[in-house]
């Protein structure tokens, strides 16, 4: 791939706790990831996104960092990460690591010093504020983990901000020393050889200096939790952020002078993330790409899906590059959430699609749709197997959000259960331990890797075929996207890449999907004004009769046009 390898790339997200356990303690580790990288490479992905493995008290399972430069003993030692990086590069895989910079763990040395007094060297490294005259928090901001976003610190007689757990205080990016320290962290990992960063909660780095109350959302748009009842005008999406991202991009570009481009992808939360995503990724001086929660909640119909992807092909969106995901470590698995079966609500306030069980769509349908989109793609471990969401007993829950919101919302543990490698092995081949950190799901046994490797009709084999098509066709990786049909649950896309001298000539594909439970007919290929479409991939019995394409429920067709 070109120096812009990340454009159109597919990255496989690995949640280390649940991927493979080598030392037998019931928790996945870095050595386990390294051992399984040949499997990841065999999928045909371009690299991995590795969730946090840094020193942490693990209240939020690594997203509460106590040492940004250290490997937590639970996952191994520094040499284990170096071995992982070397093996990934040997296999031709890029390595993008999570960076959690909006907040730290309360155990971080920076916070231990900052909380001690109002006059120490790091006194302003975190967001501190005086109480209101009545002793209440300084404003109405709410935590995504529940309750007010402020915690009282008696040593300073002030509140500190925490957008997540109370033990996860927010850094103050208005402090120049904080920005410098964060860039030093980036420098460390870039020098170590990583290929990029996934920036956790990137739109929460800055807050409004005035600490104004957030306004209420209009009635009808309010969610069930307090944090979903207000517009996050003052604790997110602040105008100072792009300047910091320009500093980060300059650092990353300097490390890319060796010809191995480093990339940064931002996670952007919020109800209307598009303007923030565009602001953070505009031009060549800011972040390379960003993704939102657009497809991590309820299933969209064809019109809603096009509404999400269309802005990236017009106006300002043409100067930015999007990323897409249908599953990750924070959302119920897409095979359950959209494709049938029970699904818990999205961990941070979304709702599962109650009608999903009635769909004819399958995990292959969603994989084919995801890999058809223009942008960079993130696949979550197990998505290539079509794993459904796991249902856990209350006593097995570990996620603090699920524990706090049970039974209305079981939290995120259901998408984090151990990976099934072998259907008949103890703990499905994940670990030799008698008990794993989360229980393995018996429902995953028939979908284990060894079973699907032996079945040419499996979701795993379909995923490999689709990924091979994406790598082979410049139209899928880099091409323009036009929606030819978007009616109800029927979607027909045209992907086209002109002959620019880099991809072996022009390339045009037609992609058709029936996302719903009823069969459909669409013109084919007359809808594109061309004839002679050559099928490349089909699923669920799609067939062409004359100029009509018959799409049973869940059907997919990829076809090449001359």
Output the pLDDT for position 492. Answer: 96
Dihedral sign for Cα atoms in the order 145, 235, 266, 34: negative
Dihedral sign for Cα atoms in the order 209, 213, 218, 222: positive
Q: Which of 201-205, 294-298, 419-423 has the lowest mean pLDDT?
A: 294-298
Output the pLDDT for position 205. Answer: 98
Output the pLDDT for position 359. Answer: 57
Output the pLDDT for position 289. Answer: 97
Confidence of residue 346 (pLDDT cuts 50, 70, 90): very low
Same domain, 456 and 483: no
Per the domain annotation, does 164 fall within a domain? no
Structure confidence by residue, pLDDT tens digits, 16-45: 999 999 999 999 999 999 999 999 999 999
Per the domain annotation, does 168 fall within a domain? no
Same domain, 439 and 516: no
Task: Output Rg (C-alpha) for the chain, integer angstroms.
Answer: 23
Last residue of a domain, one of 432, 462, 492: 462
Percent of the chain that is helix, strand, coil (3-state, to 5): 30, 20, 50
CATH code, 554: 2.60.40.1180
Per the domain annotation, does 474 fall within a domain? no
d(CA 501, CA 307): 32
Per the domain annotation, does 150 fall within a domain? no
Per the domain annotation, does 189 fall within a domain? yes
Cα dist. 8→47, 299, 323, 477 in Å? 12, 23, 9, 4
Same domain, 493 and 417: no
200 is catalytic: yes
- The mean pLDDT of the chain is 92
Last residue of a domain, one of 462, 491, 521: 462
Structural domain containing residue 506? 479-561
Per the domain annotation, does 139 fall within a domain? no
CATH code, 287: 3.20.20.80
Same domain, 535 and 430: no
d(CA 162, CA 75): 26
Structure confidence by residue, pLDDT tens digits, 474-527: 999 999 999 999 999 999 999 999 976 565 678 999 999 999 999 999 988 654
Structure confidence by residue, pLDDT tens digits, 47-94: 999 999 999 999 999 999 999 999 999 999 999 999 999 999 999 999
Q: What is the DSSP string of 113-143?
A: HHTT-SSSTTTTSB-EEPPPTTS--SS--B-
Same domain, 492 and 443: no
Here the tokens at position 182 are 């964060």
| Res 530 pLDDT > 60 | no
**Catalytic residue selected from 267, 330, 353, 507:** 267
Same domain, 533 and 458: no
3-state secondary structure of 90: helix
Q: Give me the number of domains the chain comprises.
A: 2
Same domain, 202 and 309: yes
Same domain, 227 and 324: yes
From the list 397, 410, 370, the residue with the least C-alpha distance to 386 is: 370
CA atoms within 13 A on the CB side of 526: 9
Same domain, 324 and 187: yes
Last residue of a domain, one of 462, 492, 510: 462
**Residue 504 contacts residue 494 (beta carbons within 8 Å):** no
φ, ψ for residue 396 (rounded to 5)?
-95, -5
Q: What is the DSSP string of 442-482?
A: GGGGGGSHHHHHT-TTSHHHHHHHHHHHHHH-HHHHT-EEE
**Residue 80 contacts residue 86 (beta carbons within 8 Å):** no
Percentage of residues in the chain having pLDDT higher than 90: 85
Confidence of residue 267 (pLDDT cuts 50, 70, 90): very high
Per the domain annotation, does 370 fall within a domain? yes
Per the domain annotation, does 169 fall within a domain? no
267 is catalytic: yes
**Catalytic residue selected from 200, 330, 353, 383:** 200
Same domain, 326 and 444: yes
Same domain, 453 and 485: no
Confidence of residue 358 (pLDDT cuts 50, 70, 90): very low
Same domain, 486 and 455: no
């Amino acid at each position: 791939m070109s120096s812009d390898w990340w454009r159109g790339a597919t990255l496989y997200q690995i949640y280390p706790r649940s991927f493979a356990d080598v030392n037998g303690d019931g928790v996945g580790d870095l050595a386990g990831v390294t051992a399984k990288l040949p499997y990841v490479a065999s999928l045909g992905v371009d690299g991995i996104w590795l969730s946090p493995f840094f020193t942490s008290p693990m209240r939020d399972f690594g997203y509460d960092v106590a040492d940004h430069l250290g490997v937590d003993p639970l996952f191994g030692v520094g040499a284990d990460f170096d071995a992982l990086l070397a093996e990934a590069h040997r296999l031709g895989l890029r390595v993008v690591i999570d960076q959690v910079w909006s907040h730290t763990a309360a155990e971080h040395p920076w916070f231990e010093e900052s909380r001690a007094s109002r006059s120490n060297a790091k006194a302003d490294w975190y967001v501190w504020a005086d109480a209101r005259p009545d002793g209440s928090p300084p404003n109405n901001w709410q935590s995504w983990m529940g309750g007010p976003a402020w915690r009282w610190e008696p040593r300073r007689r002030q509140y500190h901000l925490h957008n997540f757990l109370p033990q996860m205080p927010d850094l103050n990016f208005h402090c120049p020393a904080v920005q410098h320290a964060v860039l030093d962290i980036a420098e460390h990992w870039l020098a170590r050889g990583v290929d990029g960063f996934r920036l956790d909660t990137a739109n929460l780095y800055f807050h409004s200096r005035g600490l104004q109350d957030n306004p209420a959302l209009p009635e009808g748009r309010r969610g069930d939790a307090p944090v979903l009842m207000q517009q996050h005008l003052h604790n997110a999406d602040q105008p100072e952020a792009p300047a910091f991202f320009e500093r980060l991009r300059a650092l990353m570009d300097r490390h890319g002078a060796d010809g191995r481009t480093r990339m940064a992808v931002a996670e952007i939360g919020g109800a209307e993330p598009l303007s923030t995503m565009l602001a953070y990724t505009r031009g060549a001086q800011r972040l390379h790409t960003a993704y939102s929660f657009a497809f991590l909640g309820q299933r969209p119909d064809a019109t809603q899906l096009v509404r999400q992807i269309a802005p990236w092909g017009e106006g300002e969106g043409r100067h930015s590059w999007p990323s897409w995901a249908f599953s990750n470590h924070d959302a119920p698995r897409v095979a359950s959430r959209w494709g049938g079966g029970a699904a818990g609500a999205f961990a941070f306030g979304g709702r599962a699609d109650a009608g999903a069980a009635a769909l004819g769509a399958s995990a292959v349908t969603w994989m084919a749709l995801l890999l058809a989109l223009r942008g960079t793609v993130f696949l979550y471990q197990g998505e290539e197997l079509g794993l459904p969401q796991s249902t856990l007993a209350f006593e097995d829950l570990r996620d603090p959000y699920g524990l706090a919101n049970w039974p209305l919302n079981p939290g995120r543990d259901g998408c984090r259960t151990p990976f099934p490698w072998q259907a008949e092995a103890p703990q499905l081949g994940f670990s030799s331990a008698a008990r794993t950190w989360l229980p393995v799901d018996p429902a995953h046994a028939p979908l284990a890797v060894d079973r699907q490797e032996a079945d040419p009709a499996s979701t795993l084999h379909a995923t490999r075929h689709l990924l091979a098509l994406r790598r082979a066709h410049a139209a899928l990786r880099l091409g323009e996207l036009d929606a030819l049909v978007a009616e109800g649950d029927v979607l027909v896309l045209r992907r086209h890449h002109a002959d620019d001298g880099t991809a072996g000539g022009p390339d045009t594909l037609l992609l058709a999907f029936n996302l719903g439970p009823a069969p459909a007919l669409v013109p084919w290929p007359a809808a594109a004004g061309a004839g002679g479409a050559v099928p490349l991939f089909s699923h669920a019995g799609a067939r062409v009769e004359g100029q009509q394409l018959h799409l049973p429920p869940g059907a997919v067709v990829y076809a090449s046009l001359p």
